[in-house]
Homo-oligomer: A and B are copies of this chain.
Amino acid sequence: MKHRATINDVAAAAGVSVSTVSKAVNGRYGVSSQTVDRVLAVVVELGYESSLIASSMRSRTTGVIGVLVADFEPFSAEILKGVGQALRHSRHDLLAYSGSHGSADGWERRSLSRLSGTLIDGAIMVTPTVVDAGTEVPVVAIDPHTGPADLPTVESDSFGGALQATRHLIELGHTRIGFIAGRPDLRSSIARDAGYRRALTEAGLAVDPTLVGSGSYRADAVREAALEMLARADRPSAIFAANDITAIEIMRVGAELGLDVPGDLSIIGFDDIPEGSKSTPALSTVRQPMQMLGAEAARLLLALMQGETPDPIHLTLPTRLVPRATTAPPRTSAAGIR
List A residues at the B interface (Cβ < 8 Å): 1-4, 47-54, 56-57, 71-74, 77-78, 80-81, 83-84, 88, 90-99, 101, 109-110, 113-119, 134-137, 274, 277-278
Contact = CB atoms under 8 A, between A and B. Distances in A.
Contacts of A4: 113, 116-117, 135-136
A74 B291 CA distance: 11
Contacts of A56: 53
A118 B52 CA distance: 9
Contacts of A119: 52-53
A83 B80 CA distance: 15
Contact of A84 (B81, B98, B278): B98
Contacts of A49: 109-110, 113-114
Contact of A72 (B71, B92, B94, B137): B94
Contact of A51 (B74, B96, B97, B117): B117
B71 A77 contact: no
A95 B97 contact: yes
Contacts of A136: 1-4
Contacts of A54: 57, 118
B109 A47 contact: yes
A81 B72 contact: yes
Given A1-B137, A2-B134, A72-B83, 5 more contacts: A47-B109, A53-B53, A53-B119, A74-B81, A274-B277
B101 A91 contact: yes
